[in-house]
Copies of this chain bind each other. A is one copy, B any other.
Amino acid sequence: MGEQLNDFVHGPLDMYRDKATFDWRKLKVYLEGEDILKYKQDIYSKLQNEDCFKPTCGPQTFEEIRYQTFLQAKAYKSFKSVTEHINESTKEELATTRILTQLAPSSIPKQSVIFLNHLKKLGTHRHRQFMEDVYKNKVTGCFCLTEIGHGSNLKGFGTRAVYSKEKKVFTINTPNFESAKCWAGCLGQTATHAVVFANLEIDDKQYGLQSFIVPIRDVNTLLPFAGIIVGDMGEKTGLNGVDNGFILFKNYEIPRENLLDKLCDVTEDGLFILKVKDLESHKEKSRIALSIARISTVARNECLGTKGLVVAVRYAAVRKQFGPGDGPEVCLLEYQTHQYRLFPYLAAAIVFKNTWMYLADVQDNLDFYSKNRICNVSLASELHAIACGAKAISGWTMRDVIQGCREACGGHGYLKVSGFDDTRSAQDAVLTYDGENYVLLQQTSNILIKLWPLIVRNQKISSPLESFDFLSNGDNLLREGRFTIKTVKELFNQTYILYIYDWLVVYLIKSSAEKLENQNKQSEFWVQSDNQIFYAKDLAVTYIERLFLLKMLNLINNAPDKKIQEALTDMFFLYALWNIRNHMPVLYQGGFASNRLISMLVKEGILKLLGRIKNNAIALVDAIAPPDFLLNSVLGYSDGQVYKHLESAFLRFPNGLSRPTWWKEVLDSEQIPSKL
């Protein structure tokens, strides 16, 4: 059975399902789209036929996890050919990514995807054979960029590739352990080839970081070649199915043709040649490609957070605790504290889902967006600003969602069968891969701060996705921006919420830019670095939150009926007010707010929303929930039979009802010698 669209089994969740003001099925179809639902259905039915995707019972050893992941990746490849993937839309691609992330996250890096993408991007006909061998499963490829002692800063890399005219080869060397390549998925035990980044050197002259295809293991024996030390990085917090590896090269020679030569090449006699004329345009394309990869992390964050959320909200509708007087106990969902713990997260999950779907749509229509208007900010820059910021914020928010939901399930959330441990472990990885979050936010704020001179001069600002356009009004906002509202009712106004955010972004651009100007005695590097906390970082955060909210308006306006529109509007306001609370010091500092009203109204607004969302929470969760076999949590299945599933999990646990094998030692009290 796939994505639930039929009625749910009757049970403990009926009470809240009956209270919902809207049709969850209609919302689900609206959020996903008929075509994607059908597409997912097809994948589900295939996955369910494979034993390796069935949930295991009881603890697995490290070896078992590795082997199961290998089988999963293999099974997936068998029913989803690479050529098929190429013709997919971004939405379809991300639907696949979400499914695997929720079901078997380790299996994703096992599919040579980054290796292939990089070959497509920077390789030429010289490297076509490697790609074909990947399609034929003869070659497993991995991607070696990061070094042990060097992460985000590419300039610090130590790996070198020196060209020898005599031998017509590049000789790769790793000068020390800090320069060992690491973290590459599949490198640890299984990859036969790697794309390796190294500093190119010809005749003692440096030609920057270039990438090479490097054979690392014999395709017939899977044993590494001489001149290489390659191994596994060992156990991790999660994703242990992936054999992340490290590699050191010692005078390791590869043919000249293995340089990926779309942009540049080295001739037989050692001449370095640039092959691309319009390097800038190539860089733009690269940035767009990188942004798209980051958009995929937003979807990953969202789908893992959603998994935790579905479990916690359903559990809260079943679990009873305390109650007034001598009456019966009431559901956790009835308590204000519990609503506050869960509903802002629910809003965030829906807001993020809407955002990555919008960005996927942009990606599928790049030509349209890059040509339609004259802009101050290029599409590449705008996508970069959005993708960097959205990756960081979706990561941190969904980290808190998963942890908050785990705690909201009490002690039972600590059980492996609740699913939280695996979900958290998988999401934790996203927080530090694909760019360090603070560094990413700095990318976003840098793009924004550069617009300050235009704002000052009251110039029109526009960008292909229109996320910068409001800055045209920046000067006016700064002069006249004031919180003028007196009632909660007035606060529940979408335009006004965006107005608050408009002011926040412009004010933070102003204060960040001014801080930079005022400190220009120091070196620019340290001035920028000292401008992050409270200024540039907050700027990036407010810009992204504003974009999230802006895009929610489309979702709200096109809703299929009024009830769904109202439910989504509640999500909009809760996400907004919950975040505006964090920006309160800025609102006061900048003079936007000056009396106690905003503090009070935002609080009141949030409390009002919590009470309103209560009866819709289960229906909202039903609309975004994955099917039960992906959810895989005794506390969160769609039938709400928490205790039945818990009982059966306990009884199924291997040896759960037996003595330990070493039971005699427990009794052997005489064996305890006194060491005193």
Using a CB–CB cutoff of 8 Å, the interface residues on chain A facing chain B are 46, 49, 58-59, 61-63, 66-67, 70, 74, 77-79, 81, 136-138, 140, 146, 148-153, 155-156, 177-178, 183, 188-190, 219-223, 229-238, 240, 243, 246, 319-325, 329, 334-338, 340-341, 399, 403, 406-407, 410-411, 413-417, 420-421, 425, 428-429, 431-433, 436-438, 523-526, 529-530, 532-534, 537, 581, 584-586, 588-591, 593-596, 598-600, 602-603, 606-607, 610, 643-644, 646-647, 649-651, 653, 655-663, 665-667, 669, 671-676
Contact = CB atoms under 8 A, between A and B. Distances in A.
A230 B183 CA distance: 44
A229 to B, nearest CB: 8
A153 B581 CA distance: 33
A526 B324 contact: yes
Given A70-B662, A586-B599, A660-B190, A321 B156 contact: yes
B189 A151 contact: no
Contact of A436 (B67, B150, B410): B410
A338 to B, nearest CB: 8
Contacts of A607: 530, 533-534
B600 A596 contact: no
Given A235-B415, A235-B653, 19 more contacts: A46-B675, A70-B660, A137-B669, A148-B646, A149-B319, A177-B644, A190-B663, A219-B667, A231-B653, A232-B657, A233-B650, A337-B532, A406-B428, A410-B432, A411-B433, A413-B432, A588-B593, A589-B599, A589-B603
A81 B676 contact: yes
Nearest to A673: B78
Most buried by B among A319, A338, A414: A414
Most buried by B among A223, A329, A338, A410: A410
Nearest to A669: B137
B661 A63 contact: yes
Nearest to A140: B666
12 contacts: A67-B660, A78-B674, A150-B321, A221-B659, A222-B667, A231-B653, A234-B653, A324-B525, A336-B529, A337-B532, A589-B599, A591-B596
Contact of A234 (B155, B236, B525, B649): B649
A322 B79 contact: no
Contacts of A177: 643-644, 646-647
Closest 9 CB pairs of A and B: A137-B669, A324-B525, A589-B599, A59-B62, A235-B416, A234-B653, A79-B675, A585-B599, A237-B421
Contacts of A649: 234
